Amino acid sequence: MPRPAPTAALLLLLACPSYPQVVDCIVAEVDGQVITLTDVRILLAFSIRPEAGGDESPSPARQTLEGVIDQKVIVGMVRENIAVTGEEVAALLADLKKEFEVEEWQHKLEAFGLKEQDLHPYLEEKLRYEKIIRLRFIQDVDVNLREIEEYYSEVYVRAETAQGRVPRPMTQVLDDIEAQVKKKKTEQQVASWVRSLRGRADIKVKTDCLELIK
């Protein structure tokens, strides 16, 4: 059945042999949009992992919640009509299902009383957020030789040495190193932009509700 719309802090009771009995509640509000404990539990259970723009938290539930907040802030503030097709949703759903055994996937759906189409809103929002990020940061960031040399010596060489391997000369891994530096700088730009928009959003987080996830 479709996910019920929350109307109060306490909404429904989930009972299943694989999931402890918990009372659903509101974990956050983003400019009036509600995120429930059930939303976070579903995203965790089905590995629909939003990318969090802030610092990483040691709690998977908190990481997931921060990612959902980022998505809602960006999608809500970017006014352009960013279309997501049914084919894109179906492709993402198919990729997602590959991470699970057939019986496990079905069991998770049954545990939450869901059908596959009930996951579509979560997938659509994730896709729309990722499209917005790609459109805004479509241009390659500039990378200079000093940054490449620093990454080579401080990241690549150390990682290879720690694995007991002899690091290859920088000329042989230059393209890979440059790509990694660009990726890191882009992620930093995205995180900075998300933080800026979050500062303008009305965000309320209820940690006592989130702590119900063990």
DSSP string, 52-72: PSS---S-HHHHHHHHHHHHH
The helix (run of H) or strand (run of E) holding residue 16 is: strand 13-16
The range of the structural domain enclosing residue 126 comes to 13-139+201-210
Find the CATH number of the domain harbouring 81: 1.10.4030
Non-local (6+) Cβ contacts of 210 within 8 A are: 27, 37, 40, 59, 61, 62, 65
When pLDDT is averaged across residues 118-145 and rounded to a whole number, the result is: 89
Pair (178, 133) in one structural domain: no
Where does the pLDDT of residue 69 fall: very low under 50, low under 70, confident under 90, or very high at 90 and above? very high
Helix ranges, 23-114 (H): 37-45, 60-77, 86-97, 102-112
Residue-level pLDDT at 141: 79
Residue 51 forms part of a structural domain: yes
Token representation of residue 24? 């659903």
Mean pLDDT of the chain: 85
* 67 backbone dihedrals φ, ψ, rounded to 5°: -65, -40
Residue-level pLDDT at 9: 34
Residue-level pLDDT at 176: 95
Pair (54, 158) in one structural domain: no
CA dist 99 and 108 (Å) reads 13
Lowest mean pLDDT among 66-80, 103-117, 152-166, 169-183: 66-80
Residue-level pLDDT at 95: 95
Where does the pLDDT of residue 204 fall: very low under 50, low under 70, confident under 90, or very high at 90 and above? very high
CA dist 68 and 76 (Å) reads 12
When pLDDT is averaged across residues 81-109 and rounded to a whole number, the result is: 95
When pLDDT is averaged across residues 181-185 and rounded to a whole number, the result is: 91
Looking at the predicted structure, is the pLDDT value of residue 214 above 80? no
Residue 55 forms part of a structural domain: yes
Residue 136, Cβ neighbours under 10 Å: how many?
Answer: 13
Non-local (6+) Cβ contacts of 30 within 8 A are: 69, 72, 73, 76, 201, 202, 203
Residue-level pLDDT at 103: 96
More confident residue, 39 or 17: 39
Residue 64 forms part of a structural domain: yes
Residue-level pLDDT at 174: 94
Pair (60, 122) in one structural domain: yes
- Written as one letter, the residue type at 86 is G
Task: Indicate the number of domains in the chain.
Answer: 2
